[in-house]
Chain A
Amino acid sequence: DAKTTQPPSMDCAEGRAANLPCNHSTISGNEYVYWYRQIHSQGPQYIIHGLKNNETNEMASLIITEDRKSSTLILPHATLRDTAVYYCMGLSAGNMLTFGGGTRLMVKP
C-alpha cells in the first residue's frame, strides 16, 4: 500500500472550508484513496474514498490529482464537531487498511 504523508495538525475557523492535504506519491494504479476520521474516544469513521475521479458525498469532497500522487479532503463548512484526527490511506485488494499518524484538525469558533 502507498505510504501517505499528512501534516500533523491544522486549524480551521468554524464555518470555513477545511482543506486537508495528503501526499501518496507511491500509490499504485489499483489502490483506492481512503479518508477516515477519529473523534476523541470513538472508533474511526469512514468519510469518503476514490480511485481516480473526484468524489463527493454528504460529508465531504475528495479531490485526487490527475497523477494520483496527492489528494485533498474538503469539509465545505467546518463545524466544531469536525474537530478530529483525519487519516488518509491507500488500500488495494489483498491488503489491510493501514493507519498512519493522521492530521489533527482543530476547528475554532
Chain B
Amino acid sequence: DTGVSQNPRHKITKRGQNVTFRCDPISEHNRLYWYRQTLGQGPEFLTYFQNEAQLEKSRLLSDRFSAERPKGSFSTLEIQRTEQGDSAMYLCASSWGSSRGNEKLFFGSGTQLSVL
C-alpha cells in the first residue's frame, strides 16, 4: 500500500493560465474524491468518481473546473483560466467499498496551488 499520490506537490501559475493536477489512488480503490481546502478552513467536497463514472459534482465546481478518471485508475483535475480565488490546497482521496456511508477515505498530501 503506497498510499494516495498527488502531483505536483506545489504549483505556481499566473492568472489566466490552465493547470492540471494528477491523483493516483490506492490501487484497489474504486472510489475517488477531490476536495479543496483554503487556509484555516476544513476541506470542501468538489467531485466524486466511482470507477470511471463521475457521479457527483459540488456547486463549488465552476465550468472552469473539469475532472476525469479514465479507466477508473488515476484522476486529473484541470482548472482553466485560473483566478486568484482558485489558490488553495487540492486534495484527492480514495476508498473502497460497496456501501456508501461506511467507508474510510485515504487522502493524499495535496497539491498547493498559488495563482499570482
**Hey, which bits of chain A sit against chain B, CB under 8 A?**
30-32, 36, 41-46, 49, 51, 85, 87, 91-102
- How far is B110's CA from A98's CA once the two chains are assembled, in angstroms? 17
A97 & B105 in contact (Cβ 8 Å cutoff): yes
B107 & A43 in contact (Cβ 8 Å cutoff): yes
Chain A at the B interface: mostly helix, strand, loop or mixed?
A: loop
A43 & B104 in contact (Cβ 8 Å cutoff): no
A44 & B101 in contact (Cβ 8 Å cutoff): no
Sample of 4 more A-B contacts, CB < 8 Å, known A44-B105, A99-B42? A42-B109, A49-B104, A92-B101, A101-B42
A32 & B106 in contact (Cβ 8 Å cutoff): no
Which residue of A has the minimal Cβ distance to B91?
Answer: A43
Within 36-69 of B, Cβ neighbours of A (below 8 Å) are at 41-45, 48, 56, 58
Chain A contacts for B105, CB-based, 8 A: 36, 44, 46, 97
Q: How far is the CB of B114 from chain A (nearest CB, A)?
A: 14
Q: How far is the CB of A66 from chain B (nearest CB, A)?
A: 21
Within 64-115 of B, Cβ neighbours of A (below 8 Å) are at 91, 93, 99-102, 104-110
